[in-house]
Chains A and B, each alone.
Chain A
Amino acid sequence: MTRCRPAVPQSAGGSDLDEESAAWLRALRGERREAAVARLRARLLGVARGEVNRRAGMLPFGGSELDDIAEQAASDALVAVLAKVDGFRGESRFTTWASKFAILEVSSKIGRHFWQRDGVRLDPNAWDRLPARFGLGPDSGVEWRQMILALRRAVDEVLSDRQRRIFEAIVLNEVPLDVLVVELDSNRNAIYKALFDARRKLRAELAANGYMGPEPRT
């Protein structure tokens, strides 16, 4: 008697999955789901720990604080993966897709930890440091000093209040974007878009006044 092979699970997009991804989906939907969830949690914790270790040298905190971030990131990533697993489109391996949630949670939690620890402090003299950040010193030419003055004028005149606030925090004060996300109770996409639009406006203004060429078309 021939036996039918179990159907290969498909992604939400209808595509056939690689063997390992299909096995994860079968396990998470099957009778031994609890064991599969525990295995997934362990995997996400491994990803989160690896990521905090990778970033440790760039952070002003470490030890148990990083352990806590990894634990919380793994737990929240697990919730996100389980909530979205039915929408998995199979455009990558399941483990890559799931690991992404752990990485994003680590980013988000590091931003929040920064904010809780240091808050956002804006230096009223931050404009004075800007020329040095762009490689300009006392011996820089007059044209460059004029360009910085024109930039400052454009920031005051062409940006919206929100764009100006975001530009001043990120560009002048070097506040990490994910920290500003928490400060403004926003999300990364919205803050990035506001800064993107601000950059575009500032460049257009400086180009209109002859300080730089027009934006190249791609």
Chain B
Amino acid sequence: MMSDPNALERFLATDPVDPGCAKALEMLDAYVDTLLAGGDPEKRFPDVAAHLRDCGPCSEDFEGLVAAVRRGREAAG
């Protein structure tokens, strides 16, 4: 539950650089590899970062891909 007086205003706010799900997901693997390589994906892909801040399903996919790649690398030693 949102619990502060600006919650509605924040919910309705949109970021003009948000490219939508299709373009963000197209770059999601590069975004994740940049993150896991110690880089700054928000700086390299500001549009993808804007989308992930706003889109719950794509953000969940991002978390899932990060976890999967980490598991894969741990398994590979």
**In the bound complex, what is the Cα–Cα distance between A54 and B3 (angstroms)?**
27
Q: Mark A42-58, 1 if CB is under 8 A from B, else 0.
A: 01001100110011000
Instruction: Identify the interface centre among B2, B12, B28: most chain A CB within 10 Å of its CB.
Output: B12
Q: Determine which of A54, A171, A206 lies in contact with B67 in the assembled complex, contact meaning CB atoms within 8 Å.
A: A54
A125 CB–B CB distance under 8 Å: no
Contacting residue for B14 out of A99, A134, A188, A215, CB 8 A: A215
The answer to whether A202 and B15 touch across the interface, beta carbons within 8 angstroms, is no
Q: Identify which of A96, A203, A213 gathers the most chain B CB atoms within 10 Å of its CB.
A: A96
Query: What CA separation (Å) do A213 and B9 show in the bound complex?
Result: 9
Q: How many B residues touch the partner, as a band?
A: 35 or more
Prevailing SS type, chain B contact patch: helix
Task: Assess whether A151 is interfacial by the CB under 8 Å rule.
Answer: yes
- Which chain B residue has the least Cβ–Cβ distance from A102? B68
Contact A177 B12 (CB under 8 A): no
Contact of B65 among A46, A99, A177, A187 (CB under 8 A): A99
Q: In angstroms, how far is the closest chain B Cβ from the Cβ of A13?
A: 11
Query: Across the interface, which residues of B come within 8 angstroms of A192, CB to CB?
Result: 20-21, 55, 57-58
* B7-A107 in contact (CB<8A): no
Judge whether A104 and B25 touch: CB under 8 Å.
yes
User: CB-CB contacts of A117-136 with B at 8 A, as 1s and 0s?
Assistant: 00000000000000011110
Q: Mark A89-123, 1 if CB is under 8 A from B, else 0.
A: 00111011101101110110000000000000000
Output the least CB separation between A211 and chain B (Å).
9
Chain A contact residue count (CB 8 A cutoff): 48
**Chain A residue contacts of B18, Cβ below 8 A:** 196
Tell me the smallest distance from the CB of A178 to a CB of chain B, in Å. Answer: 6
Which A190-216 residues have a C-beta within 8 angstroms of B?
192-193, 196, 199-200, 202-203, 206, 212-213, 215-216
Contact A104 B61 (CB under 8 A): yes
Contact of A99 among B8, B25, B68 (CB under 8 A): B68
Chain A residues within an 8 Å CB radius of B7? 134-135
B contact residues around A103 at 8 Å (CB): 61, 64-65, 68
Binding site for A on B (CB under 8 A): 1-5, 7-9, 11-18, 20-22, 25, 27-30, 32-33, 54-58, 60-61, 63-65, 67-69, 71-72
